[in-house]
Amino acid sequence: MAVAEQHRGAAFTGSTQAESATMVKLRRGGITILRGILFTVISLFFLIPFIWMIFGSLRRETEIFQYLYPLGWHTFFPIEWTLEHYRDIFGMSAEGQRAGLNFGRNLMNSFIVSAGVVVSSLVFNTMGAYFFARLKFPRKNWLLAFVLVTLFVPFEVTMVPLYIVVRYLNLQNTYWSMIVPWFASPFVIFALIQYFRDIPYELDEAALLDGASYLHILRTVIVPLAIPGLVTVSLLEFQFIWNLFYWPLIAVQNQDIQVLQVVISSQTTQEQTFWGRTFAGSALASVPVILIFLALQRYYVRGVASTGIKG
C-alpha cells in the first residue's frame, strides 16, 4: 500500500502538487467516513441482539411490543425503567414465587460448577502438562497420543454415551456430574505443554540437583513463570463450562442444582414466552462472561489464536 502511494505521489509534479494534496486529503476523508460507516454497521450487527436484550430486560413487556414499529430510538430504549423482571426471576415478587423461579440459586450453581471445574482443571492439567514437558518416563509419547487423540472426539456427539457412563457411576442429578467429566482437558494440557516448554530448563534442573521434589519445583519454579498461560487457559475453561448447555440439560433434572443456562431456556416454550423474564435471565447469564472477556481480552485472544480452543 505504502509503496503504491509513493509511486502515485511521485507522478505529480510542479503546479499540480497543491491541487493533488487537497484531492488526496478529500479522498482520505471520504475513505475515513466510509470506513466509519462500515465499522458501525458491522459492530451493530454483532451487538444489536445484546442491546435489545439488556434494555428489554429493564422495561415492561407492553412497552417492548408497543414501540416495535416504527423502528426508532424507543424500539430499543426504555421510556419507563423497571426492575420487575429481575425481581421475578430472583423470586422476589409474588409472580416470580408463584412460577417457582429462583435464578439467584441457579446463578450460584453456575458459579459452583465453573469454580469446581476451573480449580480442579488447573491442578490436574498443570500436573499433566508438567509431566509431558519435563519428566522422564518410558513410552511417554504413547501417553501423549492417548491424551491428544481425545482432542478429536466430537463433543456433542458423545453426550449420550457420556450420560450412559455417568448414570452407571450413579452421578446423574448431582453437582459432580457437571464437574467430574471436565477435571482434565486435552486442550488445556496441550496448551500448557507449550507454555512450560518456554521456561528455561536450567531453572528446574538446578532445583532438582538441590534435592527439591517434583511437586516443589512445579509449585515454586514452573507455576510462577507460567502465570499468563495459566490465566489464559483458566479464562477459556471458565467460559467453556459457564456456557455449557446440552450436558447439564441431560445430566441434571433437579431444578435446585441446575445451572443458569438451562433454566433461562425454560422461560420460553412453544406455547408461551415470558419476554421480560427471558431478557433478564439471558442478561444475567451473559453479562458476567462478557465483562470478564472485555477485561481480559488480551489473554483470551492469545489463547484462542494459539490453541484453537472454542468456547
Closest distance to another protein from the beta carbon of 227 (Å): 20
Residue 209 binds to another protein (criterion: CB under 8 A): no
Residue 194 binds to another protein (criterion: CB under 8 A): no
Size of the site for another protein (CB under 8 A): 98
Q: Looking at residue 174, what DSSP letter applies?
A: S
One of 80, 156, 202, 256 touching another protein (CB under 8 A): 156
Cβ within 8 Å of residue 92, ≥6 positions away: none
Residue 89 CB coordination number (10 Å): 31
Q: What are phi and psi of 273, to 5 degrees?
A: -120, 130
One of 26, 33, 34, 153 touching another protein (CB under 8 A): 153
Alpha helices in the chain (DSSP H): 2-11, 16-56, 61-66, 73-76, 84-89, 94-98, 103-134, 140-149, 159-168, 175-179, 186-197, 201-209, 214-217, 223-225, 227-242, 246-251, 260-265, 275-295, 297-307
| 289-308 binders of another protein (CB under 8 A) | 289-290, 293-294, 297, 300-301, 304-306, 308
One of 69, 73, 100, 271 touching another protein (CB under 8 A): 69
Output 104 or 186, the one with its CB closest to another protein: 186
Closest distance to another protein from the beta carbon of 117 (Å): 12
Long-range contacts of 46-50 (CB under 8 A, 24+ apart): 50/286, 50/290
Residue 160 binds to another protein (criterion: CB under 8 A): yes
- Binding span for another protein by CB under 8 A among 21-29, 49-57, 93-101, 193-201: 49-57
Query: Which residue bears the cell 476523508?
Result: 29
One of 92, 108, 143, 223 touching another protein (CB under 8 A): 143
| 82-141 binders of another protein (CB under 8 A) | 124-125, 127-128, 130-132, 135-138
| 252-281 binders of another protein (CB under 8 A) | 261-262, 264-265, 268, 270, 273, 275, 278
Residue 133 CB burial class (10 angstroms; 0-12, 13-18, ≥19): buried
Closest distance to another protein from the beta carbon of 18 (Å): 27
One of 87, 112, 186, 223 touching another protein (CB under 8 A): 186
Long-range contacts of 22-29 (CB under 8 A, 24+ apart): none
Query: Which residue bears the cell 504413547?
Result: 142
| 213-242 binders of another protein (CB under 8 A) | 213-214, 239, 242
